Amino acid sequence: MAIDMSTAKQQVVDFCNSKSKTKFYFNDFLKVFPDEKARDVKKVLTALVQEEVLEFWSSGSTTMYGLKGAGKQAHSEGED
Amino acid sequence: MAKHKTPLLDQLESGPWPSFVSDIKQEAEHRHANPDGIEYQIPVDVCDDLLGLLEMSYEDGETHWKHGGIVGVFGYGGGVIGRYCDQPQKFPGVAHFHTVRVAQPAGKYYSTEYLRKLMDLWDFRGSGLTNMHGATGDLVWLGTTTPQLEEIFWTLTHDLNTDLGGSGSNLRTPASCLGQSRCEYACYDTQSLNYAMTLEYQDELHRPAFPYKFKFKFDGCPNGCVASIARSDFSVIGTWKDDIKIDHDAVMGYVKGEFAPNAGAHSGRDWGKFDIEKEVVALCPTGCMSWDGSKLSIDNKECYRCMHCINTMPRALHIGDERGASIFVGAKAPILDGAQMGSLLVPFVPVEDPYDEVKEVVENLWDWWMEEGKNRERIGETIRRMSFQKMLEVTGIKADPRHVQEPRTNPYIFWKEEDVTGGWERDINEFRKRHQR
Ligand code: SF4
Ligand code: SF4
C-alpha cells in the first residue's frame, strides 16, 4: 500500500475519535483511505484489533469496528 | 419444581409437534440432577432462567435480549455472537447468553465419539443447549458467559481440531453435500473443494470486512442437497457436458418391474406398475426424452440436467463423464426485496485441485462488492442495483446466451462505444459521399 502503516493506524484512530458515533462499518474506513485497496485497509484494521486498539461489535448478522471500550452497548439500543 | 412459572410457554407444548420448550425443560432438569457430576462453569439454572426470560417476553410482547455485543475470541471477528439480557437481576442465569458457532465438518460427517467430546465441553462450559444445525450449517451452541469463550476456543482448536465458524459481515462457514464420499451423482469432489476454500479464505472467515454476510455452498449435482442455489451468495453446482449414459438393459429392467424406481424411495405405498412414459418421459421438463416401447432416447443438447430421470432410474441412467460445475451468484433469504435464487454466472468450470478457476471468480466478485456494496447489502442486491452486465465486466466473463432467462422485453438497446465497430467517430467526407446535406 502507498501509505505507511503507522500513519495509517493513527488516521484510523483519529477518524474514530472525530465522530460522535462509536461503531463503524468497514466501508466507513474505505472513505478515510480513498486511494487504497479494500484489502490493504483491512490489514490496518486487523493490526489495530491485534493490538487491542480496536474491537469488533457484532449483531450476529453484521459486524462493526470501534475503539476498544468506546460506547459500550448504548449505540445498538439507539441511545447515542 | 420449575424455578419460574411459564404458563404461556407450557401451552406451546400442548400441540402434537415436538416442542423446544419441552427440550429446554428436559435440559434444565438434567442440569439440576447432574448425573455425571459435571463442575458447571456457568450458572446451573441457565435453562430455567432462559424459560423465565422467554415467558416474560411473551407477556410483554417485546424481547428482553439486548442487540448484539462486543464478545469474541481474540483476533476473531466472528464465530461468537454476544447476547445479553436486559433483566439480569431477575434472570442471572442468562445475564450473558452468548452464541458460539462451531464449524461443521464437510458433508457433516461425525463420529459419535467426536459428538460426545463436543457435548462434554458444552455441558461443562455452556448451557448444554444446541441448535444442530444453523441455516449456514454450523453447530450452534446457545448460551455461555464471556469468561468461558477463550477456554472453549482453546479446547475446540487444540483438543478437538475444530475451528469456530463465521458470523457477522464475513465469509460464513462453507457447506457442502457429502458428494463423492457416498453419492454416485457427484460431478466433483464437493468436500475437497469445501476444505480447500475454507483454508484459502481463513482471513475472510474470521476477520469481517465485507458489506454483509457471504456464503459459499457446494452441491455435487443439481439435486442440490445443501440447497446452494437458494441459500448461498456463491453456489457451485456439479454438472456435465457430454451425454447421460444409458444402460438399455437396465431401462428394460425398470419397465419390467425388476428394479424399484427411485431406488425404492417411494415404496411406502403402492403406486401401481412403473410407467416409464408417465413417470419419466412426460415429466422431463424440456421434453427431450422419448420412449418407443423398447428404447429410451435423450436429445442431450436440450437436457437441463434436472436429474429427474437419473433419480428415477439410477441403475439405468448415469451422469456424463465430462464433469465440472456451474457457478451461480446472488441467492439470499428475504431480508430486502424478498428471496432471490442465484443467477448463472459461469456455465461450466472444471473443478480440480487447486481450484484456481473457482477462486479467481470469487476474488473478482469480492473486490467489486467490497468497493461498491452498500452496508448490509448482499451481493445479489448489489448485482440487482448495478446490473448483471456490470458483474460480467468485473469478473471478465463474456456475456453468453445462457445468462439470459427470457427474450428481451425492452425494445431499446444502449450501446457502449467500445462495443460498436468503429466507435462513435465517423469520417464526415465518407459520409457525405453517400448522404446529401
Ligand atoms: S447434491 Fe447431488 S451429489 Fe451431492 S449428495 Fe445430493 S444428490 Fe449427491
Ligand atoms: S436430466 Fe431432466 S432434463 Fe435431462 S433428460 Fe433427464 S429429465 Fe430431461
Q: Which of B81, B136, B169, B336 to mutate to test the interface with A (most CBs of A within 10 A)?
A: B169
* Environment class of B242 (CB within 10 Å of its CB; exposed 0-12, middle 13-18, buried 19+): exposed
Domains of chain B: 7-159 (3.30.70.2500), 175-239+324-397 (3.30.413.10), 245-318 (3.30.70.20)
The parent domain of residue A14 ranges over 5-76
Q: How far apart are CA B305 and CA B289, in angstroms?
A: 12
Dihedral sign for Cα B37, B41, B45, B46, please.
negative
B155 lines ligand 1 (CB under 6 A): no
CB contact under 8 A, A61 and B212: yes
Residues of A in contact with B69 (CB under 8 A): 57-58, 73, 76
Q: How far apart are CA B202 and CA B215, in angstroms?
A: 13
Q: How far apart are CA B98 and CA B109, in angstroms?
A: 26
CB contact under 8 A, A63 and B99: no
B221 lines ligand 1 (CB under 6 A): yes
A77 touches chain B (CB under 8 A): yes
Q: What interhelical angle do A5-18 and A38-50 show, nearest 10?
A: 80
Q: What is the CATH number of the domain that holds A28?
A: 1.10.10.10
- Centre of ligand 1 to C-alpha B263, Å, is 15
H or E element that contains A5: helix A5-18
| Complex ipTM | 0.81
CA distance A11 to chain B (A): 18
Q: Judge if the upstream peptide bond of residue B347 is cis by omega within 30 degrees of 0.
A: no
CB contact under 8 A, B81 and A25: no
For residue A21, count other CB atoms closer than 10 A to its CB.
13
- Centre of ligand 1 to C-alpha B214, Å, is 22
Q: Which of A56, A68, A79 to mutate to test the interface with B (most CBs of B within 10 A)?
A: A56
Per-residue pLDDT tens over the stretch B246-287: 999 999 999 999 999 999 998 888 888 999 999 999 999 999
Q: Mark out the alpha helices in B95-200 (DSSP H runs).
A: 112-125, 146-159, 190-200
Number of independent structural domains in chain A: 1
* Environment class of B410 (CB within 10 Å of its CB; exposed 0-12, middle 13-18, buried 19+): exposed
Cβ–Cβ under 8 Å, residues B331 and B380: yes
pLDDT per residue, tens digit, chain B (437 aa), is 689 999 999 999 998 999 999 999 999 999 999 999 999 999 999 999 999 999 999 999 999 999 877 778 988 999 999 999 999 999 999 999 999 999 999 999 999 999 999 999 999 999 999 999 888 899 999 999 999 999 999 999 999 999 999 999 999 999 999 999 999 999 999 999 999 999 999 999 999 899 999 999 999 999 999 999 999 999 999 999 999 999 999 999 999 999 999 999 988 888 889 999 999 999 999 999 999 999 999 999 999 999 999 999 999 999 999 999 999 999 998 766 788 999 999 999 999 999 999 999 999 999 999 999 999 999 999 999 999 999 999 999 999 999 988 888 888 878 888 888 888 888 889 889 999 88
Q: Which of A26, A30, A45 sits opposite B169 (nearest CB)?
A: A26
